[in-house]
Structure 1
Amino acid sequence: MTPVSKAIDEVVIQSRPRNIKLNDGNRIMTVAGNKDFKTSTHILEVLRKTPGVTVDPEDGIFIGGRISPAIFVDGKPLVMSPQEIQAYLRSLSPEMVESIEVNTNPSSRYDAEFKGIIDIRLKKNGNLGWKGAYNGNVSVNRFNYRENSINGSYNTEKIVYQMQFGYNDGISTYRYNALQRLANTNVMRTNTYQIDEGKAYTAQAGIDYRLNDKNRIGVNLRGNFRNNDRMRTGSLYTTNKDESQLVFNTGSENPTDYRQDNYGITTDYSFNNKNFKLNFLGNYLLVSNKQKDDFTNKDLPTSQLLSYWKSDLFNKINIYAAQIDASQKVKNANFEMGIKYSDTRTTNNIRYDTLSVNNQFVFDPTRSNMFSYKEQILAGYLAYSQKFDKFQINAGIRVENTKSISNAVSSDSIVSRNYLKWLPSFSINYTFNKSNELSLSYSRKITRPVFSQLNPFRFYFSPLNYWIGNPYLQPSFTSQIKGTYRYKNWIASLAIGKESDVMVRYPRYDPKTNVLEYLGTNLPYRNFANLEISFPLKITKWWNVSTQLVGYYNYEFRPYLDEVFAMKIYNYEVRLNQVFSLPGGYTVNLFANYESKTGNSLYIIKPRYTVDLSIQKSWFENRLNTKISYNNIFDSYDQRLVFRHKQIIDNQFTHWWDSQRLLLAVSYNFGGSKYQGKEIQRSEEEIRAR
């Protein structure tokens, strides 16, 4: 008998993929399978721990300082209201997301208003059949808040069906406290407490149809519906200068009934043929807001009613957008061009009725307002990119024509604008080797005022405190240069720029009525810079630390009243994300964030910090995932501001949100996907993000 020899035909050695990569100078963070994010409940919590990203207590997302980024999913922008975007991000667990790319200097290929982009790449399901996931959590403070979502998909050889449903409900709280020394030397303390009981329903359904290897079409329908019943109570407690004698003590109540309905449709089509690509994307968004308020103000010692007014608000927003992008690859060069048209129409009608001396409500024309805003943007771009050995060059030019009309019907004020702007971009990337790469980029961006900044009617915080929009605001323009260097998993980036016609709010105090109002205006300019460094440290096999260091510089030239204030502001932020991999499959995460003293030419913002502790465990072959978190352990993440120039306004105030919470979360993956289907052709952007 001849023995049969067995040989190994091939040995494949795969190194562990990096959790951090660069794409044209932009950070790409791996999410699914990344230990840094295993204890995160949803993508909003992942973003809090992502280098270069800040999430405030109201779930507002910022990058590069105070830039509100556009949120993309799989390379496409989310045309949603801010509340709907937050709800959608809470419905995504870390296990559902492949990667997150943070782009702080977008090229001319993107809308000029996108000063920053966060692109979330979802994990692709290549298996045929169906699969789904449930994500739920409850956060416990004085009150409870519950979030639930279920996602499902069914794959065939040609069609992918997707569905998502969500339901959130609960109570959140907010406090506002202020101390102001009035012009007549009296001391006034403002205290506001708000309880917000809300419910939100979301539904989404989509279909992605691969006609053949070259053509693909998709349609997505969605709805988001929320109800909020808010009760805001407040008091104004005023004494004489040495606080020995009471001057007045008033209390206010402001119950609000708020409803918002969102409807959206997205259609997209792509054609790929060898080196040519064509894409179409269409979006429609309808947002309807209704709000009813009561404002009562009483003298607390005598219970005498001082004032009483009601408001009835209706707001409707329609957004239509369509864009076509085409690209052609010629050897190592790639040429792109595209055109986009968007149409935004917003109407707003708020009516105030005030209780008169004869105990009847009378229409109040001084507060009531009808306002409409129409904006049309036609944009086009040309882009070129080419690789020369270790060099990658990208250049582009974008032109945008904006037409807008704002009409304050009540004050008979119409503002019409029509302007054309050219916005270039350029970047160069050099790869020394697998461990070292350098990127330099330049871009010019435009920021148009949003509806709430233009609308000239009052949003009340208290009977003596409100802010009001300015229909004459001009758009601002930002020019920025950014450099990024990567050594292995260490990344450092420096951005320097200048913004002209900066849109800000400023306070104006009336010493006769003691009313403090916040108005909108354009500053001549501001200079800014920020330096970001992030690096991981492996202390032991079971202890990993990710460190982020960010330094900011801001100089704004601010005319205010009869003076000009110009200050150089320096501040920094430090984040430590520690992950402990313990026996039994438990993962413990300790996250700490410190923000130094900062501010602007008018305000000092005091330092603040937060510490979060969480633990995670998977069960049943990772199908069931459980997490327990204690967020903001020391209740230390409130925001405290002090007005710098006490000869104008001697004022300080604090915003507090109930972010100190115990959170219990569970996610479960289910489904019957069993066999692999054909690989669906991916776009260039999807390939780069893998």
Structure 2
Amino acid sequence: MMIRLWIFILLLFLSIFAKSQKTDSLRPKDSIQTISGVVIQSAPRNIKLNDGNMILNISGNKDFKTAVNILEVLKKTPGVTVDQEDGIFLNGRISPAIFIDGKPVVMSSQELQAYLRSLSPELVESLEVNSNPSSKYDAEFKGIIDIKLKRNVNLGWKGSYSGNLSVNKFNYRENSLNISYNTEKATYNLQMGYNSGISTYRYNALQKLANTNVMRTNTYQKDEATIGNLQAGIDYRINDKNRLGFTIRGNFREHDRNRSGMLYTTNNDETQLVFNTASENPIDYKQKNYGITTDYSYQNKNFKLSFLGNYLLVENKQKDDFINRDAPTSQVLSYWKSDLINKINIYTAQLDASQKLGNANLEAGIKFSRSHTQNNIRYDTLSVNEEFTFDPTRSNRFSYKEKILAGYVAYNHKFDKLQINAGLRFENTKSISDAITVDSIVSRSYLEWLPSFNAQYTFNKSNELSISYSRKITRPVFSQLNPFRYYFSPLNYWIGNPYLRPSFTNQLKATYRYKSWITSLTVGKENDVMTRYPLYNPSTNVLEYLGTNLPYRKFATLETSFPIKLTKWWSMNSQIAGYYNDEFRPYLNEVFALKIYNYEIRLNQVFSLPKGFTINLFTNYESRTGNSLYIIKPRYSVDISVQKSWFENTLNTKISFNNIFDTYDQRLEFRHKQIMDNRFTHWWDSRRLVFSLSYSFGNSNFQTKEIQKTEEENRTR
């Protein structure tokens, strides 16, 4: 472990401090290349600011040439973190909304992850990272990542195929086909994907029980999945002023998941076995997603009107068996089954208008959204007479309905080098959560006014400063509200809270750019923070994770990223982030208020070698962190990848070895041993060898007539 750590530290700091040292006894010869200095070099074509938001060019950017898909690009993007389960975060804490070409994507989280994994960097023109969205956007969007796709501007058809094979103990295969056909009037798009394979997960815990016994929990999960998706769309240019788009899609997945575990308990000095329980939890999971999107835009000189409508239907079905045995004798101790049906319907409709008035621009819009989630889970328990009977203590029926009517007005004005944007949004929310099983209904209705402000001053081409403020609302999602049990092990589960309140965040952000060096500072306060907390029952040894609202937490993030060019063939992008978190947490008749400081360092090194080979070395280190209850141990990872293009760049091959030292597990420890002595580890099979191949084809020849673009669209190109 120490050798691995020293290797990582060497890779981390070598490029920053590397500089050739001249001595009398050793002089560089003419035939040998040396590093004569470190130069921070501007890269105006790859990075810029727009209203304080960082915009990165992706296609053709050598920093991302070896990335297999857009998730790997996001992993290397300043200010963005991608965890082991493909969860995306900004500033280390915000789950951003994903936009495609300036429009929000209404997908389930599983469908969205599959879609992002199907996008190769060659299909993406740019990324815009917005960690403080204005009032123009939904108030629940604390952050936005806008993915701009490359467009087929030539007549005819073109396409690309991308295939990935990930290998460790098992393997996982990903296939994606993208085809577009362009005429003078319309663009037709077709995307198909099929993924299959096996992934694994481990959960290990050590807990000293109230009776001084020591319990070890070991869980192993093997997930065999097949995922298919299909998306078809048309973008029709009625005339120079009117455009109409329509997209339909489907995503289908099946998981054959087998989770097995062991509860091994001994006395305090671990010399005597108290009990040894083996558990089996086979799971049959199916999900179907259907989505429809329609959009219309009208543009006449300085006036633009647009409409966007979305419909999403998600259906989840899951069947579980929970079998617990005495390991030495194989005697069945308990056996219960569950049958889950979950349906989600989401409708959204949005109308936006903008009018340019000289150096000013006035925007206004209105949006309506309605969602209905139904959850019905039935448990049956094996009785003493060897028959399964209905278990009302675990079974649950829950329904959640939400309607949101929102509107905004925004004004921006440019005064020479100064640009000011101000906006005000209202959101009227009505929700009903109905825990049918326990006959409990929680109804809420509230109206909130949410302002925003941004000022950006451009000193010259190399220097820009932006300051922004926003107020946001975060509503609890269905899984946080639904009071049903989700089991990690027979004695460990989490459960939702239908009485959770929404949280509100006031945030201030300052961003400064010097050439390609970008530094940002974000400070804020969130009230009624939604979180989970552990509750240990010493008589049953059951550990529950329950939902609650904390009074408040204060936070701050300082981030900087800058490119360094060491030689003509060796360049690096450095990212350093520091985090501060101060939460006020009442817990078990006490108050815990700790100030937590942590940092993260990421280095993305690119080596451009002869014969068109590109090598990428990505290193990441996260310091010790946590919250008022838990300590999260430090961790690091190292990825290396090689890329080569063939046949005039129509064929692209990549080989990656991710998490080389298998060091990116998550280890947590409960701080307050007088309450509970518990530590546990989550491990995902992220140590993988990945083979990737993509091929571009088509016969596009003639360029189409340029479509009208707004000033905002032109700025982001």
TM-score (norm 1): 0.98
- The one of 67, 74, 77 aligned to 2:94: 67
Greater shift after overlay, 18-27 or 426-435? Answer: 18-27
Which amino acid is 2:578 matched to? G
1:32-181 matches, within 5 Å, as 32-181=59-208
Structure 1 residue aligned with 2:484: 457
Partners of 2:672 and 2:698 in 1: CA distance: 62
Structure 2 residue aligned with 1:240: 267
Which amino acid is 1:325 matched to? D
Segments of 5+ residues of structure 1 without an aligned counterpart are 1-14
Shift of 1:682: 2.3
Shift of 1:688: 1.8
Shift of 1:684: 3.7
1:521-600 matches, within 5 Å, as 521-600=548-627
Judge conservation of contact 2:323–2:332 (CA < 8 Å) in 1: yes
SS in 2 for 1:432: strand
Shift of 1:680: 1.6
Partners of 1:378 and 1:239 in 2: CA distance: 57
Structure 1 residue aligned with 2:695: 668
Which amino acid is 2:373 matched to? T
Structure 2 residue aligned with 1:493: 520
Partners of 1:428 and 1:671 in 2: CA distance: 45
SS in 1 for 2:561: strand
Judge conservation of contact 2:378–2:394 (CA < 8 Å) in 1: yes
Is 1:421 the counterpart of 2:443 in the alignment? no
Partners of 1:19 and 1:208 in 2: CA distance: 28
Shift of 1:375: 0.0
- Percent identity of paired positions between Structure 1 and Structure 2: 77
Judge conservation of contact 1:106–1:116 (CA < 8 Å) in 2: yes
SS in 1 for 2:141: coil
- The one of 354, 375, 398 aligned to 1:327: 354
Partners of 1:634 and 1:689 in 2: CA distance: 39
Judge conservation of contact 2:184–2:705 (CA < 8 Å) in 1: yes
Partners of 1:153 and 1:258 in 2: CA distance: 33
Structure 2 residue aligned with 1:12: none
Give the length in aligned residue pairs: 676
Judge conservation of contact 1:577–1:592 (CA < 8 Å) in 2: yes
Structure 1 residue aligned with 2:475: 448
Partners of 2:446 and 2:124 in 1: CA distance: 40
Judge conservation of contact 2:475–2:501 (CA < 8 Å) in 1: yes
Structure 1 residue aligned with 2:11: none
Shift of 1:390: 0.4
- The one of 520, 537, 555 aligned to 1:510: 537
Shift of 1:686: 2.5
Partners of 1:451 and 1:16 in 2: CA distance: 44
- The one of 248, 254, 259 aligned to 1:227: 254
Partners of 1:420 and 1:313 in 2: CA distance: 34
Which amino acid is 1:85 matched to? L
Shift of 1:504: 0.2
Structure 1 residue aligned with 2:457: 430
CA deviation digits over 1:626-675, x for unaligned, max 9? 00000000000000000000111100000000000000000000001011
SS in 2 for 1:302: coil
Judge conservation of contact 1:72–1:78 (CA < 8 Å) in 2: yes
- The one of 340, 347, 357 aligned to 2:367: 340
Partners of 2:702 and 2:427 in 1: CA distance: 48
SS in 2 for 1:284: strand
CA deviation digits over 1:609-636, x for unaligned, max 9? 0000000000000000000000000000
Which amino acid is 1:292 matched to? K
Partners of 1:75 and 1:489 in 2: CA distance: 24
Partners of 1:469 and 1:543 in 2: CA distance: 50
SS in 1 for 2:115: helix
Which amino acid is 2:359 matched to? N
Is 1:480 the counterpart of 2:507 in the alignment? yes
Shift of 1:17: 4.2
- The one of 317, 323, 334 aligned to 1:296: 323
Judge conservation of contact 2:43–2:516 (CA < 8 Å) in 1: no
Greater shift after overlay, 277-286 or 86-95? Answer: 86-95
Judge conservation of contact 2:44–2:515 (CA < 8 Å) in 1: no
Structure 2 residue aligned with 1:209: 236
Is 1:281 the counterpart of 2:308 in the alignment? yes
SS in 2 for 1:195: strand
Judge conservation of contact 2:44–2:516 (CA < 8 Å) in 1: no
Which amino acid is 1:303 matched to? S
Judge conservation of contact 1:74–1:686 (CA < 8 Å) in 2: no
CA deviation digits over 1:296-323, x for unaligned, max 9? 0000011111000000000000000000
Partners of 2:603 and 2:506 in 1: CA distance: 31
Partners of 1:322 and 1:590 in 2: CA distance: 44
SS in 1 for 2:112: helix
Judge conservation of contact 1:75–1:685 (CA < 8 Å) in 2: no
CA deviation digits over 1:469-520, x for unaligned, max 9? 0000000000000000000000000000000000000000000000000000
Partners of 1:132 and 1:688 in 2: CA distance: 27
Partners of 1:304 and 1:96 in 2: CA distance: 56
Shift of 1:569: 0.1
Judge conservation of contact 1:323–1:338 (CA < 8 Å) in 2: yes
SS in 2 for 1:636: coil
Structure 2 residue aligned with 1:11: none
What's the RMSD between the two structures over aligned residues? 0.7
CA deviation digits over 1:112-170, x for unaligned, max 9? 00000000001121100000000110000100000000000000001000000000000
- The one of 405, 430, 438 aligned to 2:432: 405
Structure 2 residue aligned with 1:394: 421
Which amino acid is 2:80 matched to? V
Structure 2 residue aligned with 1:10: none
SS in 2 for 1:87: helix
Greater shift after overlay, 508-517 or 675-684? Answer: 675-684
SS in 2 for 1:344: strand
Structure 2 residue aligned with 1:255: 282
Structure 1 residue aligned with 2:662: 635
SS in 2 for 1:502: strand
Which amino acid is 1:482 matched to? K
SS in 2 for 1:36: helix
Which amino acid is 2:229 matched to? T
TM-score (norm 2): 0.94
Runs of 4+ with >3 A deviation: none
Which amino acid is 2:588 matched to? L
Shift of 1:275: 0.6
Partners of 2:709 and 2:143 in 1: CA distance: 24
Shift of 1:18: 2.5
Judge conservation of contact 2:483–2:498 (CA < 8 Å) in 1: yes
Judge conservation of contact 1:372–1:408 (CA < 8 Å) in 2: yes
Judge conservation of contact 1:576–1:591 (CA < 8 Å) in 2: yes
Judge conservation of contact 1:624–1:668 (CA < 8 Å) in 2: yes
Judge conservation of contact 2:473–2:503 (CA < 8 Å) in 1: yes
Partners of 2:431 and 2:561 in 1: CA distance: 42
Is 1:185 the counterpart of 2:212 in the alignment? yes
SS in 2 for 1:687: helix
CA deviation digits over 1:309-357, x for unaligned, max 9? 0000000000000000000111111000000000000000000000001
Structure 2 residue aligned with 1:7: none
Shift of 1:16: 7.1
